[in-house]
Chain A
Amino acid sequence: MAVIKETRKDRIFNAINFIIVTGCLLVVLYPLYFVVIASFSNPNAVAAGEVWLYPRDITLDAYETVFENQEILMGYRNTIFYTIVGTLFNLVLTLPAAYGLSKKNFMGRNVIMFFIVLTMYFSGGMIPSYLVVRDLGLLNTWWALIIPMGCSTYNLIIARTFFANGVPSEIEEAATIDGCSTFRLFLQIVLPLSKALIGVLTLYYAVAHWNEYFSALIYLPSAREKYPLAQILREILILNTMKSAAGSSMNEELAVYYANLANLLKYALIIVSAVPLLVVYPFLQKYFDKGVMIGSVKG
């Protein structure tokens, strides 16, 4: 491309393009950045609208309040449990099924695939699903947030496409001729060759579990001790149930401070709830493009 010199028009185009992209970048970045700086700032400064570009009077008060709250810690522990166990369950269900359905010698695979894909467009809906979960006796149990989220059709299709195209069939044929059973072939040869796929699916499933709140609302009507973090977040961020520690003996200035702190703690809470993702985000990033690419070969 460098052979032909850029025209003036092209340079203007480049400049405008650069400016617009940078504008988009700032629009996305600023709200996230604001949450971070606000969470470290003095509550009164945030309330007065003085925090814009950098934190003011840096304090960890908001974080201290977050970590003193037993319910938040409980929700955190529960969510870690749901995410780990739930994602494992998802993988155990999705990977073998996708592998089996990717095999051409699997009789009836098109029929099964049709009925699976159909569920993307037509479903029983909220009420009949609720009745199934209730009749299985899953309400208010740990399993209520794991088993009903067992399989995502979208992810199953991604996995099937990957197995159909991403694993060289020569290796499988050679192993079969050498007397390798399908189970062993899958566990010892196909899975180790599918790290990219497992990475993508783990990411998609884990994020879904981490963010899930609605199932908790329906399926855990009276099991508060099993609430995931997202449900606790909902109560604090949206229903405003968090009471500040303000006591009657406090002077007015301190009472205002605590009232503002109750608001500020939401920023800190957002950060705390996002920390695990922020930690793994850079490592997972290489999978993002791959994941969508695998899925898009579907055709």
Chain B
Amino acid sequence: MKSAARLSKNPAAAGKGKKILTRLCRDYQLYLLVLPAVIWYIIFAYVPMYGLQIAFKDYNGALGILGSPWVGLKHFESFFRSHYAWTLIRNTVILALYSMLASFPFPIILALMLNELKSARYKKMVQTVVYAPHFISVVVLVGMLNLFFSPNGMIGAIQEALGQETVNYLTSPGAFRHLYVWSGVWQGTGWGAIIYLAALSSVDPGLHEAALIDGASRLQRMWHINVPAILPTATILFIMNAGSLLSVGFEKVFLMKNDLNADTAYVIALYIYDRGIVKTDFSFSAAVGLMNNFVNFFLVLLVNRIARALSDTSLF
């Protein structure tokens, strides 16, 4: 004790340091368990973030990330000066907002309706079916769209039977957004309902009984008990959806885009792929990606603020 006090002017701090060391020794196996994942996150999440500096450089493979010369905001300027920049941004924002707003209410409505079903077996059966599309790969989903909506597919046959002219929706810029969004609604609504069903299952049955005795109808109970019960969940999910607003669905757009619908289907992420991976214009496309990322981050904060102001529920 005496020697320890001499080593450090503050005995309490020395004791604390020793305690930390003992704890580290005692729990070293815990740290070993976490270590592989930490290494993975460093290599595959934080090294790329570090690599983002090439957005401000002229990346040259021979010189490496560190050795390449700084060029400041050159790439950002050249992106914003280009004539396609605003088209890309507009396409991305419209598609993301349309998709987010259209696909948001359906899982809530479905969950509320499933919750009101009287037969538990029928409810189970409906759930089994509506969850299934969630597991369909995006390649298969777009493949199905191509099969159904091509002029000689299912939709074409219906139009022909009705005596209408067949339209090729797959190559139509006007139809792209609707196809994208509503196929997403088809695929995601069932799965999205699960979380609301979980929230509904935790509603106190006493509330329903009390309302029943007071003569509330089923519709009134749904509206005044169940809807408020899932509102906090809905708010949180809405904010989280906003977080992935600009990145979401890139793989799907990539598959759906063709030369003819590019007017509406060309989004920022696709452009990054074309310039970066295909044309190996690394610095420029990293700059565009960084900008995309910042806009995204800003949107989360914005939606979070709005949600807090409107409903007192927020993510952070």
Binding site for B on A (CB under 8 A): 1, 4, 7, 9-10, 13-14, 17-18, 20-21, 24-25, 27-29, 31-32, 34-35, 47, 49, 92-94, 96-97, 99-101, 103, 105-107, 112, 115-116, 119-132, 136, 147-148, 150-151, 156, 181-183, 186, 207, 210-211, 213-214, 218, 230, 233-234, 237-238, 263, 266-267, 270, 273-274, 277, 281-282, 285, 288-289, 292-293, 296
* Contact of B277 with A218 in the complex, beta carbons under 8 Å: yes
Q: How far is the CA of A210 from the CA of B135 in the complex (A)?
A: 10
Q: How far is the CA of A130 from the CA of B99 in the complex (A)?
A: 28
- Among the stretches B39-47, B90-98, B171-179, the one at the interface with A is B39-47
Instruction: List residues of chain B with CB within 8 A of the CB of A18.
Output: 117
Q: B interface, how many residues as a size bin?
A: 35 or more
- Among the stretches B5-13, B80-88, B146-154, B259-267, the one at the interface with A is B146-154
* Contact of B143 with A266 in the complex, beta carbons under 8 Å: yes
In the complex with contacts A27-B186, A112-B38, A123-B293, A132-B142 CB distance below 8 A? no
| Interface residues of B, dominant DSSP | helix
Q: How far is the CA of A124 from the CA of B292 in the complex (A)?
A: 11
Closest approach, in angstroms, between the C-beta of B121 and any C-beta of chain A?
13
User: Is B14 among interface residues, defined by CB-CB distance under 8 A?
Assistant: no
Q: How far is the CA of A101 from the CA of B142 in the complex (A)?
A: 39
* Contact of A148 with B44 in the complex, beta carbons under 8 Å: yes
Q: How far is the CA of A130 from the CA of B118 in the complex (A)?
A: 52
Closest approach, in angstroms, between the C-beta of A156 and any C-beta of chain B?
7
* Contact of B138 with A97 in the complex, beta carbons under 8 Å: no
> Given A49-B157, A126-B272, A214-B251, 6 other A-B contacts at CB below 8 A?
A4-B213, A21-B117, A49-B161, A97-B38, A124-B45, A218-B277
Say which residue of B36, B146, B296 sits within 8 Å of A238 (CB atoms): B146
Specify which of A18, A28, A120, A125 lies most central, judged by the most chain B CB atoms within 10 Å of its CB: A125
Closest approach, in angstroms, between the C-beta of A53 and any C-beta of chain B?
13
Q: How far is the CA of A253 from the CA of B132 in the complex (A)?
A: 38
Q: How far is the CA of A148 from the CA of B243 in the complex (A)?
A: 22
Q: How far is the CA of A34 from the CA of B91 in the complex (A)?
A: 32
* Contact of B277 with A126 in the complex, beta carbons under 8 Å: yes
Closest approach, in angstroms, between the C-beta of A10 and any C-beta of chain B?
5
Instruction: List residues of chain A with CB within 8 A of the CB of B152.
Output: 47, 263
User: Is B184 among interface residues, defined by CB-CB distance under 8 A?
Assistant: no
* Contact of A25 with B137 in the complex, beta carbons under 8 Å: no
User: Is B24 among interface residues, defined by CB-CB distance under 8 A?
Assistant: yes
- Contact mask for chain B residues 100-121; partner A; CB cutoff 8 A; 1 contact, 0 none: 0000000000100110111000
Closest residue of chain A to B185 (Cβ to Cβ) is: A27
User: Is B203 among interface residues, defined by CB-CB distance under 8 A?
Assistant: no
Say which residue of B36, B45, B219 sits within 8 Å of A13 (CB atoms): B219
User: Is B282 among interface residues, defined by CB-CB distance under 8 A?
Assistant: yes
Closest approach, in angstroms, between the C-beta of B272 and any C-beta of chain A?
6
Q: How far is the CA of A97 from the CA of B30 in the complex (A)?
A: 9
Closest 6 CB pairs of A and B: A124-B48, A49-B157, A237-B143, A211-B137, A97-B37, A128-B51
* Contact of B154 with A151 in the complex, beta carbons under 8 Å: no
Number of A-B contacts (CB under 8 A): 249
Instruction: List residues of chain B with CB within 8 A of the CB of A97.
Output: 33-34, 36-38
Q: How far is the CA of A293 from the CA of B146 in the complex (A)?
A: 35
* Contact of A182 with B137 in the complex, beta carbons under 8 Å: no
* Contact of A132 with B51 in the complex, beta carbons under 8 Å: yes
* Contact of B286 with A127 in the complex, beta carbons under 8 Å: yes
Closest approach, in angstroms, between the C-beta of B278 and any C-beta of chain A?
10
Closest residue of chain B to A95 (Cβ to Cβ) is: B33
* Contact of B297 with A121 in the complex, beta carbons under 8 Å: yes
Specify which of B40, B285, B290 lies most central, judged by the most chain A CB atoms within 10 Å of its CB: B40
- Contact mask for chain B residues 249-287; partner A; CB cutoff 8 A; 1 contact, 0 none: 001001100000000000001001100110000100110
* Contact of A100 with B34 in the complex, beta carbons under 8 Å: yes
Q: How far is the CA of A147 from the CA of B286 in the complex (A)?
A: 22
Q: How far is the CA of A21 from the CA of B38 in the complex (A)?
A: 46
25 A-B residue contacts at CB 8 Å?
A1-B208, A1-B212, A14-B218, A20-B113, A21-B114, A24-B189, A31-B144, A32-B133, A105-B27, A123-B45, A125-B290, A127-B277, A128-B50, A128-B51, A129-B48, A132-B43, A132-B47, A147-B44, A150-B44, A186-B33, A207-B135, A218-B277, A234-B255, A273-B137, A273-B140
Closest residue of chain B to A20 (Cβ to Cβ) is: B113
Say which residue of A1, A100, A127 sits within 8 Å of B33 (CB atoms): A100
Closest approach, in angstroms, between the C-beta of B239 and any C-beta of chain A?
11
In the complex with contacts A93-B36, A106-B34, A124-B52, A9-B282 CB distance below 8 A? no
* Contact of B133 with A121 in the complex, beta carbons under 8 Å: no
Q: How far is the CA of A230 from the CA of B139 in the complex (A)?
A: 7
In the complex with contacts A28-B190, A121-B243, A211-B138, A183-B45 CB distance below 8 A? no
User: Is B311 among interface residues, defined by CB-CB distance under 8 A?
Assistant: no
Instruction: List residues of chain A with CB within 8 A of the CB of B231.
Output: none
Q: How far is the CA of A211 from the CA of B196 in the complex (A)?
A: 26
Q: How far is the CA of A14 from the CA of B218 in the complex (A)?
A: 8
Instruction: List residues of chain B with CB within 8 A of the CB of A214.
Output: 251, 254
Closest residue of chain A to B150 (Cβ to Cβ) is: A263
* Contact of A230 with B27 in the complex, beta carbons under 8 Å: no
Q: How far is the CA of A270 from the CA of B143 in the complex (A)?
A: 8
Closest approach, in angstroms, between the C-beta of A271 and any C-beta of chain B?
10
